[in-house]
Amino acid sequence: MTPLGIVILALLAICVHEVLQRLAFSEGPTWLSYPITILTGLIVAGAAAHCMTIWWMKGVSGHYLDDAHEVISRVQVERTAQVPAVQEPVTDYKAIFEATGVAMMILEEDTTILLVNREFEKLSGYSRKEIEGKKSWAEFVTPESLERLRNYHDARRIDAHNAPKAYKARFVDRSGGVREMFFTVELLPGTSKSIGSVIDITEFKRTEAALMESEERYRTAIECSNDAVSIVQGDIRVYANQKFLEIFGYDRLDEVIGQPTFHVMHPDERDRINEFSRRRQAGEPAPSRYEFTGVKKDGTIIYVEASAAKVTYRGEPASLAYLRDITERRKADEQIKVSLREKEVLLKEVHHRVKNNLQVISSLLSLQAQTVKDDETRRLLEESRNRVKSMAYIHMQLYQSKNFAQIDFAPYVRSLAKNLLESHRKNGEAVSLDVRVDDIFLSLDTAIPCGLIINELISNALEHAFRNAPEGRITVDLHRDGKKHVLVVSDNGIGIPHEIDVQNTESLGLQLVSALVNQIEGSLNLERDQGTAFKVSF
């Protein structure tokens, strides 16, 4: 109160919205450095705001702020008119009351709403004629909020200083819609009336709830993860989940959080893994997946698989890693490798013995052919010997190879064709051989039938294509055509007569070819132009 008896320690509730915008819900005092006209008509040159409440400071001249909570200032106040003329600025007050961007209301002690502004009309859905002097503020709050707000209303009139001034409640509009609101209510000094502001925070609450739900969801996902999760800043671990403790044998989070990362790594791995983390946090290229040797609390060695990425943690770059104990998998892998090595040895021995047995059979057939005087019988024995040798070559190649599942077919075809040419060479004949084979790998189930087909077709050409001809040429071509392999065995000999149907022939060799083509689910075509060309697609 001034010497003239004017109270200037007054609440100006109409500035609540403006102060909220400036404060952004902070708790520290805020100074408004420009003059403000209050209800009594005084011009206050300085004002301090704390939370949602505004105090007008009384004094003589000047204003200063010693610290965040103690005001030791004097506010310059000057009279704009004589006390009897204090009603003149009321018009300005009403304009400000209407123009503020927040819903405002003035309340009677009996809860009747005395005055509202346009923003309150918009918020409630009622016109001011329907509200002012007719409705109670209690009609605009939900039943679960009503008792609490009535208690605040009564407490404000008993002890205004200690009564809650800012709080949340649920607001009901004309259509019955319910929204979350933030209320700020103060008594008008020297009266039993109160002035309040209402701010719709429904969307804010929804966003807040969504963020909390999202945070809880991710927290639950990380805590329930089957993988250990660790966040590192610099070389210090700042976060770890429960699974991390389980993997490395620790009991409490404080044993790993705030500790250097190297305490769970084998000494031989520390420099490598820490360098990955440093580069990742610096935004430099670093492996996102890697394995390392870890050390449990009791010194047990384990093998760990990591998937890592750069993240921001509490405003600073960090390295997030998902860790998985792969010790048992490593042991299983080693057992599989040992088992495979054992099987490789066994398979080599099997192929070696099969090859030897086939060579013995081939040698026996050769010896038998030498003792036979009948030419036809000798020819049949030699054909059988060549068939056995074609199979023996495959087992020999498998024995020499490191891959027992597939055969590199190109060297096999060259070796087989050369051997057949040598075994069928006759005095005076000059038959040349042209082998063109792509880098093709075939399984054993396909390679043996295919090798026998090549054996029969080359043998047939050498036997029949160049009768009474001093020279000739045989071509073997094996290549890919899309998803299929195409084998062509051709010669420039006399050709097969058109009356012979290769699908229905008495020739054992051609019958065998047809059967083998069916075995590998292929197709057989014969071209008779300028010699003979057998085309097998499979």
Q: What is the mean pLDDT of residues 33-41?
A: 39
Q: Are 487 and 467 in contact (CB under 8 A)?
A: no
The mean pLDDT of the chain is 76
Q: Beta strand pairing status for 178-187 and 194-200?
A: antiparallel
Q: What is the mean pLDDT of residues 158-173?
A: 91
Q: What is the mean pLDDT of residues 458-476?
A: 79
Query: Is the pLDDT at 370 greater than 60, yes or no?
Result: yes
- pTM of the predicted protein model: 0.40
Radius of gyration of the chain (CA): 49
In a 3-state reduction of DSSP, which class is residue 18? helix
Higher pLDDT among residues 11 and 343, named by residue: 343
Query: Is the pLDDT at 431 greater than 60, yes or no?
Result: yes
* CA–CA distance, 217 with 212 (Å, rounded to integer): 8
Higher pLDDT among residues 368 and 403, named by residue: 368
Give the long-range contacts of residues 518-521, CB within 8 A, separation 24 or more.
519/449, 520/446, 520/449, 520/450
Q: Are 170 and 142 in contact (CB under 8 A)?
A: yes
What pLDDT band is residue 425 in, cutting at 50, 70 and 90? low
pLDDT in tens, 208-234: 778 787 777 777 767 777 888 999 999
- For the chain, how far is it from start to end, CA to CA, in angstroms? 108
Cα four-point dihedral sign 76, 82, 84, 87 = negative
Tokens 């190297």 belong to: 262
Give the long-range contacts of residues 371-379, CB within 8 A, separation 24 or more.
379/463
Cα four-point dihedral sign 128, 130, 132, 138 = negative
pLDDT of residue 210: 80
* CA–CA distance, 353 with 399 (Å, rounded to integer): 9
Query: Is the pLDDT at 291 greater than 90, yes or no?
Result: yes
Query: Is the pLDDT at 426 greater than 50, yes or no?
Result: yes
The angle, 0 to 180 degrees and rounded to 10, between the axes of the packed helices 444-464 and 375-400 is 150
Please tell me the number of Cα atoms within 13 Å of 137 on its side-chain side. Answer: 31
Higher pLDDT among residues 83 and 288, named by residue: 288
